[in-house]
Structure 1
Amino acid sequence: MSYKSDRPSFQERLDHFVNVIRTDIINGIRQEGTYLPAESALAKQYQLSNKSIRKGLDQLVEEGLIQKIDRVGSMVTPRPMASITLNFGCPISLTTDFLIDDLIAEFGRRNPGIHVRRITLNHLSYVQSAQEMIDNGLLDVVAFNSPQFQEWTEEGLTPLLEKLESDPDLYPIAEEAFLVDGASYAKPISFSPVVLCYNKRHFREAGIHEPDSYWTWSDLLRESTRLSKARGRHGMYFLPASENRYPVFLLQGMSGRASGTNARDPSGDMLKGLRALDGLIGNREVFPNYWAQGNDETVQLFAEGQVSVILCTYFNLNEFAHLPLEYDICPLPSLQRGDPQRTLLLSIGMSLVRHSKSKEAARRFLDFLASTDAQNVIRERTASIPARKSAAERTIGEGRNQPSRYAMFREMFPSFSYHRDMGLQIRDLKQFTKWLKEYWSGMIGEEMLLAKLKELYGKGKLPGDPHTSESEILTR
């Protein structure tokens, strides 16, 4: 992406070389018994010296992926005939969210008889892709984020997965996303709330105090207007139609519901949040009329200094790791002063396929990803939050561009909500996203949008987790 350094450091180029070769070997692109190109050819391809290439090859030798043969070259190490291959389905984003390829390589070093093949699933039809591959016996382990798992259970696919034991040393709220009738069907690896991310230098140069948890969206709009005037650029941006962004405003509308409100139809309360959202994205002085293709473009605008404030997750912060960007994070503003804070939580977990032919090896892989060693790697080398408490709460030294308020998530637990807390199925949420786009395009009005939302709640579902009581939902 263009916002990443145009001149990567030596270590970044060396790591890139090792990661590419390692991934090619793990995924079978470079087959066992074949030879890598000559060192000189690799040096030219990866813009490294021959000495650096040899250093990278030595690392691959230590990992048992290749072996050097004098006067012949570097050969991909043949795996023992008795080795087990695990097929692991996941989104490509895990390569940056928590360095899944590095964790797979470390698991391979510790378990030389088990080979993990990472298979990228289609993010546009993730649940369908995973189901088809499981039905055809092509997956042993599959990764889910919380909305994907919600959709999985709503489609009645939970029986395809194995029940797992809970780990008391993992954050319970991270595991909560994967509970069905009290049983856990995925082991949480990482999680993140949606937070406010801001450019500290922009605020300082404009003479504006940095945002804090006391702010409302009106405060953010006011200060973003000042930022825009001071800098001659837009103050803030996020992707309005993202199903990991706009639900925040609907949830916040629900959080201030008065007693006696119709529990089966929170659409009127959600409308308050929607109007606050409209006030932000409709202000052309503050919010650019720009329709990004995804949240990555939002991060790009922020990294390039085009905007000063974005909504993002801790996962997105990994894109800033090697950039000279002075930034920090804080909790999201509330709709009104005094309202309880509320934000959206995303959790990522790993599930064991019930009919896997290598179930014990797959279970070992899941246990490793949730282990202290693997979770410490996530804490030390990424900005993502490990699901294991001891790893997440570690203090790390210099080396990565992480926000000073990294640990604030520990104080935010009461504000966390999952998508399911809106009381909508994922297919209904996707339909509502389409209606929102029509609304923002002027194709339908607010009255029609509200009528359509009421129609969704007319199906008889209570707002919130179907396994949670109504009183618990209204007091989260």
Structure 2
Amino acid sequence: MSYKSDRPSFQERLDHFVSVIRTEIINGIRQEGTYLPAESALAKQFQLSNKSIRKGLEQLVEEGLIQKIDRVGSMVTPRPKESITLNFGCPISLTTDFLIDELIAEFGRRNPGIHVRRITLNHLSYAQSAQEMISNGLLDVVAFNSPQFQEWTEEGLTSLLEGLDSDPDIYPIAEEAFRVDGVGYAKPVSFSPVVLCYNKRHFQEAGIHEPDSYWTWSDLMAAASKLSKSRGRHGIYFLPASENRYPVFLLQGFGNRPKGIGGSGLNENVQEGLRALNELISSREVFPNYWAQGNDETVQLFAEGQVSVILCTYFNLNEFAHLPLEYDICPLPSLQRGDPQKTLLLSIGMALVRHSKWKEAARRFVDFLASEDAQNVIRDRTVSIPARKASAERAPMDGLKRPSRYWMFREMFPSFSYHRDLGLQIKDLRQFTKWLKEYWSDMIDEETLRRKLEELYRTGLKPGERSTAANENGIP
């Protein structure tokens, strides 16, 4: 991506070279027994010296992916004839979220008879893609984030997965995302709350105190206005229709409601949450009229200094790990001063396909990704939070640029909520997203939006829950 700098450092170019070759070997683009191009050709392609190319090739040799043949070249290492190939379905984002290709390579070194093929699943129809491939015997392991697994459960597909034992060394809240009727169907690897990320230098230049956990959204609006006037740029941005962003305003409106009850949309606090959201994104002074195609574009705007504050996850912070960017994070503001903090939690876990042909090998791969060694790689090489407590809370071993408040997630656990705590199914949340976009486009008014949300809760609840939730929220 262009925001990583116009002149990438030597280490970034070397890491890019190793990553590209590693990924091509793991995914079978470079076939076993074939040879890589000559060192001079690779040097020209990746804008590195021959000496640097040799250094990168040495790393690939250590990983067991290639062999150096004297006076011939670098050959992709043949796999044992008895090797097992595991098909692993996952989103492309895992390559940056926690360096999944490096973890696959390490697993291969430790298990030379098992080859893992990473298969990118369609993020727009993730559950459907995974279901079709599993039904056709084409997946052995599949990754889920928490909303994807919620949809999987709502579609009645948990029978396609193997139940997994709980791990006492993994944060319990990370396991909760993948638990149904007391059974865990995915082993957590990483998790992150949605947090506020801000440019420290922008705040200093504008003479504004940095945000803290006492801030309300009104405080943020006031600070964003000052930032915009001081710098001639916008103060804050996030993708308005992102289902991993705007639901925090609903969650904060629900406050301390018991899980599973949800709300009708008539509750005044819920309406207050929507009003705070609408006020923020409709203020063109502080919030740009920019419809990003994804969260990557939001990160790009922040990295380029186009905006001073974004809503993001720890996963997104990996994009800043090598940039000369002075930034930090803090918990999201609340609706009213003194309100309990609420934010959205995203967890990523690995599920074992029940009818996998290679179930024991697949189980070994899932267990490895949650193991101490793999979790320490995530801690040392990324800014993401490992799901294993001891790994997450150990001091890192390298010099990545991390926010000074990295550790604040340990104090935020009481504020964490999953999408399911909204009381809506994923399909209903998508419907509400569509109505929100219609409202923001002046196609429907606020009263219509409110009535639609009320009806969504009425029809979306199970019959046994409907009367209880209706009474608690004032629905006749």
Q: Could you say whether these structures have the same fold, taking a TM-score greater than 0.5 normalized by the shorter chain as the test?
A: yes
Residue 130 of structure 1 corresponds to 130
| Displacement after TM superposition at 1:62 (Å) | 2.1
- Answer whether contact 1:352 1:362 (CA < 8 A) is retained: yes
- Answer whether contact 1:239 1:245 (CA < 8 A) is retained: yes
Q: In 2, Cα distance between the equivalents of 1:283 and 1:432?
A: 22
Residue 76 of structure 2 corresponds to 76
Residue 265 of structure 1 corresponds to 264
State yes or no: 1:365 paired with 2:365: yes
Q: In 2, Cα distance between the equivalents of 1:18 and 1:25?
A: 11
The residue identity in structure 2 corresponding to 1:346 is L
State yes or no: 1:59 paired with 2:62: no
- Answer whether contact 1:423 1:462 (CA < 8 A) is retained: no
Q: In 2, Cα distance between the equivalents of 1:174 and 1:306?
A: 34
**Aligned positions of 1:342-353 closer than 5 A:** 342-353=342-353
**Secondary structure of the corresponding residue to residue 169 of structure 1:** coil
- Answer whether contact 2:89 2:119 (CA < 8 A) is retained: yes
The residue identity in structure 2 corresponding to 1:191 is F
Q: In 2, Cα distance between the equivalents of 1:173 and 1:148?
A: 17
Q: In 1, Cα distance between the equivalents of 2:89 and 2:398?
A: 33
**Aligned positions of 1:9-88 closer than 5 A:** 9-88=9-88
- Answer whether contact 1:264 1:461 (CA < 8 A) is retained: no
| Displacement after TM superposition at 1:399 (Å) | 1.2
Q: 1:107 to 1:266 in 2, by over 3 A?
A: same
**Secondary structure of the corresponding residue to residue 459 of structure 2:** coil
- Answer whether contact 2:254 2:263 (CA < 8 A) is retained: no
Q: 1:349 to 1:263 in 2, by over 3 A?
A: closer
Residue 194 of structure 1 corresponds to 194
- Per-residue Cα deviation, 1:336-356 (whole angstroms, up to 9, x for no partner): 011111000000000000000
Of stretches 95-104 and 447-456 in structure 1, the one that deviates more from structure 2 is 447-456
Residue 159 of structure 2 corresponds to 159
| Displacement after TM superposition at 1:396 (Å) | 2.4
State yes or no: 1:408 paired with 2:408: yes
State yes or no: 1:284 paired with 2:284: yes
State yes or no: 1:309 paired with 2:309: yes
Q: In 2, Cα distance between the equivalents of 1:202 and 1:148?
A: 36
| Displacement after TM superposition at 1:17 (Å) | 1.2
Residue 168 of structure 1 corresponds to 168
Q: In 1, Cα distance between the equivalents of 2:126 and 2:272?
A: 32
Residue 223 of structure 1 corresponds to 223
**Secondary structure of the corresponding residue to residue 235 of structure 1:** strand
Q: In 1, Cα distance between the equivalents of 2:459 and 2:238?
A: 31
Q: 1:33 to 1:398 in 2, by over 3 A?
A: closer
- Per-residue Cα deviation, 1:256-286 (whole angstroms, up to 9, x for no partner): 66x9xx9662443422100011111111111
Q: In 1, Cα distance between the equivalents of 2:425 and 2:271?
A: 19
- TM-score, reference length from structure 2: 0.95
**Secondary structure of the corresponding residue to residue 293 of structure 1:** coil
The residue identity in structure 2 corresponding to 1:363 is R
Q: In 1, Cα distance between the equivalents of 2:66 and 2:262?
A: 61
CA RMSD of aligned residues (A): 1.9
| Displacement after TM superposition at 1:71 (Å) | 2.1
Q: In 2, Cα distance between the equivalents of 1:226 and 1:12?
A: 36
- Per-residue Cα deviation, 1:65-119 (whole angstroms, up to 9, x for no partner): 2222222222212111101111000000000000000000011111111100000
State yes or no: 1:456 paired with 2:456: yes
The residue identity in structure 1 corresponding to 2:175 is E
State yes or no: 1:378 paired with 2:378: yes
**Aligned positions of 1:400-439 closer than 5 A:** 400-439=400-439
**Secondary structure of the corresponding residue to residue 458 of structure 1:** helix
| Displacement after TM superposition at 1:38 (Å) | 1.1
Of stretches 390-399 and 220-229 in structure 1, the one that deviates more from structure 2 is 390-399
Gapped regions of structure 1 (runs ≥ 5): none
- Answer whether contact 1:194 1:343 (CA < 8 A) is retained: yes
Q: In 2, Cα distance between the equivalents of 1:367 and 1:16?
A: 28
**Secondary structure of the corresponding residue to residue 410 of structure 2:** helix
Percent of aligned positions that are identical: 83
Q: In 1, Cα distance between the equivalents of 2:82 and 2:416?
A: 46
State yes or no: 1:179 paired with 2:179: yes
The residue identity in structure 1 corresponding to 2:448 is M
- TM-score, reference length from structure 1: 0.95
**Aligned positions of 1:74-153 closer than 5 A:** 74-153=74-153
Q: In 2, Cα distance between the equivalents of 1:101 and 1:166?
A: 25
| Count of residue correspondences | 465
- Per-residue Cα deviation, 1:128-175 (whole angstroms, up to 9, x for no partner): 110111011000000000000000000010000000000000000001
Q: In 2, Cα distance between the equivalents of 1:310 and 1:264?
A: 28
The residue identity in structure 1 corresponding to 2:264 is D
| Displacement after TM superposition at 1:25 (Å) | 1.1
State yes or no: 1:389 paired with 2:389: yes
**Secondary structure of the corresponding residue to residue 3 of structure 2:** coil
- Answer whether contact 1:256 1:339 (CA < 8 A) is retained: no
Q: In 2, Cα distance between the equivalents of 1:111 and 1:246?
A: 43
Q: In 1, Cα distance between the equivalents of 2:6 and 2:417?
A: 38
Q: 1:298 to 1:169 in 2, by over 3 A?
A: same
Q: In 2, Cα distance between the equivalents of 1:91 and 1:318?
A: 16
- Answer whether contact 2:237 2:287 (CA < 8 A) is retained: yes
Of stretches 229-238 and 65-74 in structure 1, the one that deviates more from structure 2 is 65-74
- Per-residue Cα deviation, 1:368-400 (whole angstroms, up to 9, x for no partner): 101111111111111100000001111225611
